[in-house]
Chain A
């Protein structure tokens, strides 16, 4: 059915059966679109329901031990502390770096270095995370001779940085130029304009990027496979020694054939899901007005 055809038909009043066919097509289309949209979002509900139904009984059965105990006691305490430690260390390394790189890309969008930086950040954002893990293994773990929390944190920081930097750049670019010009007119230096005026105005966007970035790296598994090592029987204390992490623990537990291990994995997945949703959903709702539909 071509376009010109339609138009002619409308002009001469239209043939009723032809109109009917068009309406039927329209309805079929609506049904297909609706069903496929449902298919696209259905997995999330299926995932949440299956994790709840499989994980909740495990946690109920073990009680507080599940949160505080070591793996042999039937708990994932060290893994939770390990994840917090890794995320905190990664943020400490990555966030300042990301903020400054983002500010640079914002301030010099037309210079060669500024443009290259932005492209590089966007490429690193889409980078296979396992490659970051093996890279850090080559430059940190081989020379040190053993896995460490620091190596894991650096791998996570490499993933965190481009994410937060791109967010920072975009948040700053949303601020109308006139404020920048006003600040310059008052005699501010470039550093004052960016760090005191623009940063304060783009505060919400930048903070969102940081929090979402942290939530993202807290759930990463692949970059930790060959860097963090794993530690589930004692609580971690030294950043230069191996640590465990919840996603890493789940990955190892699923690969074990024992059903008891699978149960532990479901419990850990529920904890992971709760942590993720409790960070992510409030942030997303806080941003309600910023979404353009």
Chain B
């Protein structure tokens, strides 16, 4: 009798689902732990210099090895900022167009196209970027800017191969646009229609209406920017195919560079040959891990707060 009662009180739903929750938690903690454990030797050996120096001397002898991750860390952030700058105007205009201007027949295809772009395998962007976009940008944009505007320091690096920060920024910008656009579009569609009706009733033109409504969705735009930035930081394959992969600590747009993720993708394969390189790469991964975590938490928090604000 008692056993039956106890059995009845046990929630079979919890029994079935708890293992899966445990696995999710364990995997996450294990990931963080693994990165700390593997990065520790490099952190102890090089200290803060690992993050502020720009050197990369791989040697058979452990004592001669010196590594500094300043260039890849800078590259990751720089490229992600460029990507956001490229994608933001397109994402906002797309959201406005789909919500306000597009005729009914065009709306749905536009949304499907954007969704396809968001889901398209990154390697497809990679092959297109490396073999089509880079030559295109080099011959038509970079050469022009270099020849005519090289007095601006941003443009005064000779675009020989075309693999550069700019190529990576543009490609990443194209890749994160549908992602940011979806967030902004959803937010824009959630604006209560009374605001719009009020503005139209006041005699505002479409431009004036949109200008005020965009102010209303500003928090959603900010969270879209932050999440797009986070996604651009972590992108690996497409970036490593177009960025040129060399240790350059510069703001010049046409110079080749490195990002943390492309550094890992390129060097990890032969890192086992050197005593300290594996650990250094895990330290680089740890940086990406922590920065990505912070950026995504802030972005998600903003988005959640905005959604709650609109719903109430």
Q: Which A residues lie at the B interface, using CB under 8 A?
A: 3, 6-7, 10, 22-23, 25-26, 29-30, 32-34, 36-37, 39-41, 43-44, 46-47, 50-51, 54, 96-98, 100-101, 103-104, 107, 113, 117, 119-124, 126-132, 134-135, 137-139, 158, 161-162, 165, 189-191, 194-195, 212, 215-216, 218-222, 225-226, 247, 250-251, 254-255, 262, 265-266, 269, 272-273, 276-277, 280-281, 284-285, 288, 291-293
Residue of B nearest to A265 (CB): B127
The residues of B that contact A191 with a CB separation of less than 8 Å are 11-13, 16
Main secondary structure of the interface of A (DSSP, over half): helix
16 contacts between A and B (CB under 8 A): A25-B207, A26-B208, A34-B101, A41-B117, A43-B117, A47-B124, A103-B13, A120-B24, A120-B25, A135-B34, A139-B34, A190-B11, A222-B236, A225-B265, A276-B124, A281-B112
The residues of B that contact A51 with a CB separation of less than 8 Å are 124, 127-128
B156 CB-CB contact with A under 8 Å: no
Beyond A40-B94, A221-B123, A288-B108, 7 additional pairs, beta carbon < 8 A = A29-B210, A36-B90, A40-B177, A101-B20, A139-B30, A219-B124, A284-B116
The residues of A that contact B93 with a CB separation of less than 8 Å are 32-33, 36-37, 40
Checking A33, A50, A96 against B96 with a beta-carbon cut-off of 8 angstroms, the contacting residue is: A33
Contact A113 B21 (CB under 8 A): yes
Q: A98–B19 Cα gap in the complex (Å)?
A: 11
Q: Which chain B residues numbered 20 to 52 have a C-beta less than 8 Å away from chain A?
A: 20-21, 23-25, 27-28, 30-31, 34-35, 38
Q: A131–B34 Cα gap in the complex (Å)?
A: 11
**Contact size class for B?**
35 or more
Main secondary structure of the interface of B (DSSP, over half): helix
Contact A44 B113 (CB under 8 A): yes
Residue of A nearest to B282 (CB): A134
How many pairs of A and B residues are in contact by the CB < 8 Å rule? 261
**A135 and B31 in contact, given A46-B132, A130-B264 (Cβ under 8 angstroms):** yes
Chain B nearest CB: distance from A214 CB in Å?
Answer: 11
B115 CB-CB contact with A under 8 Å: yes
Residue of A nearest to B269 (CB): A226
Mark the stretch among B58-66, B146-154, B249-257, B289-297 that contacts chain A.
Answer: B289-297
Contact B202 A250 (CB under 8 A): no
The residues of A that contact B212 with a CB separation of less than 8 Å are 3
Closest 9 CB pairs of A and B: A219-B121, A128-B234, A36-B93, A100-B20, A40-B90, A29-B207, A222-B236, A191-B13, A190-B13
A-contact 0/1 string along B104-126, CB 8 Å cutoff: 00011011111111011111111
Checking A39, A126, A215, A293 against B119 with a beta-carbon cut-off of 8 angstroms, the contacting residue is: A215
